[in-house]
Amino acid sequence: MLLPFKGYVAGPLVKALLEAGLTVHCAVRSPENEEKVKHLVDAAKGTKGKVKFFKADLLEEGSYREAMTGCCVVFHTASPLVLNLDPAKVDEQLLDPAVKGTQNVLRSAAKTPSVKRVVVTSSVFGMCTDAADRFDEPDQVITEYCWNKTASRTYNPYAYSKVLAEKEAWKMADAQSQYKLVVVNPGWVMGPGLKVHPTSESYAVMKLVGNGGLASGVPAIGAFVVDVRDVAKVHVAAGFSDKAEGRYVTVGHNTSMYEMFAKTMAPKLPDYPLPKRKAPWFLLWLIGPCVGMERRMIWRGANVESKVKNDKSVRDFGIEYTPLEKTLLDMFHQCADGGLFPKVSKQE
């Protein structure tokens, strides 16, 4: 087993593999940094699995070969996410690293005889940029057959990087016979990781919710949400199930930010400054760019119902997605316990 290991999504996957009694090779930049790998070492305790660390760099050609040796499945979960992206350096900072990292992993897999399957973590962004994209699809629903046609270098370049990287993965897989490629396409990943990840966008949003940053109102922008623990389950199935084939939409709930934070969480957490109403559209239009929301995204996504089908993951893998309330509350309490915002005692 091998994971080009990186953070929030990969952590619960490592735990699931360890609990299955497997040996997990984790490729990291600094295996000697005990603080960064401690949560994985702790995850192995009490399981029949083993975790081993190997030094590797996503963009260094051939650096994964040692870690892959003897492994039968490769999980490629790493992808660059640049928080302060320079619009003039989109290719240099984001697009090129996403594609080159994928190329590096898949070239090494093709040269490693023991590797028989590669699971690439892509995203629903590979299929759509926002909820409004569904109007251009048959039945106005996003499925595994859809490819994102609206993301670009100037509009949601992160989504565009996922499209380019996944298309490159399929191109390379089709040109070889060493391994079988399966792709997991998660939506907006929420829920408790193995530890709090303050730099994760998901945790940043939950921190904003918990400290009252959205108390005046939350936008009714469509969202495709999945629990990080369910993402791990789909990855494991994609790696080992005989039924695994092609792409897998990994989304538990078609919802909206308003439904998530105001309707689902606020009634359960009355002593926290959570939002209780929708943010007016015009106000969102004005302040959106100040909080990282493109006006085009606001215009396209406000009050648009999201519709993404997860039938394939349910049918092939028997996945039962975690209830939205549990996903959000478990993560909220982890954030409170981890000090991301002041904790209020005696909550439900």
Per-residue pLDDT at 181? 98
Find the helix packing angle between 157-174 and 96-110, rounded to 10°: 20
User: Looking at 38-42, 110-114, 330-334, which range is the least confident one?
Assistant: 38-42
Per-residue pLDDT at 219? 83
Q: Is the pLDDT of residue 271 over 70?
A: yes
Per-residue pLDDT at 284? 67
Kind and range of the H or E element at 220?
A: none
Task: Please report which confidence band the pLDDT of residue 333 belongs to, taking 50, 70 and 90 as the band edges.
Answer: very high
Q: Is the pLDDT of residue 269 over 70?
A: yes
Per-residue pLDDT at 131? 87
User: Looking at 170-174, 199-203, 299-303, which range is the least confident one?
Assistant: 299-303
Phi/psi for 105 (5° steps) reads -65, -45
Q: Rounded to an integer, what distance in angstroms lies between the CA atom of residue 13 and that of residue 237?
A: 11
Only one residue has tokens 């943010």, namely: 279
Q: What is the distance, to the nearest Å, from the Cα of residue 66 to the centroid of all Cα atoms in its chain?
A: 26
Q: What is the distance, to the nearest Å, from the Cα of residue 89 to the centroid of all Cα atoms in its chain?
A: 23
Whole-angstrom Cα Rg for the chain: 20
User: Looking at 21-30, 123-132, 293-302, which range is the least confident one?
Assistant: 293-302
Task: Please report which confidence band the pLDDT of residue 35 belongs to, taking 50, 70 and 90 as the band edges.
Answer: confident
Percent of the chain topping pLDDT 70: 93
Copy the structure tokens of residue 60: 């260094």
Task: Please report which confidence band the pLDDT of residue 348 belongs to, taking 50, 70 and 90 as the band edges.
Answer: very low
pLDDT in tens, 62-100: 999 999 999 999 999 987 777 668 889 999 999 999 999
Average pLDDT, the chain: 91
Which runs of E-coded beta strand occur in the chain? 2-4, 23-28, 50-55, 73-76, 117-121, 180-186, 188-190, 222-227, 246-250, 253-256
Per-residue pLDDT at 260? 97
Copy the structure tokens of residue 80: 């660059």
Per-residue pLDDT at 177? 95
| Residue 253 contacts residue 225 (beta carbons within 8 Å) | yes
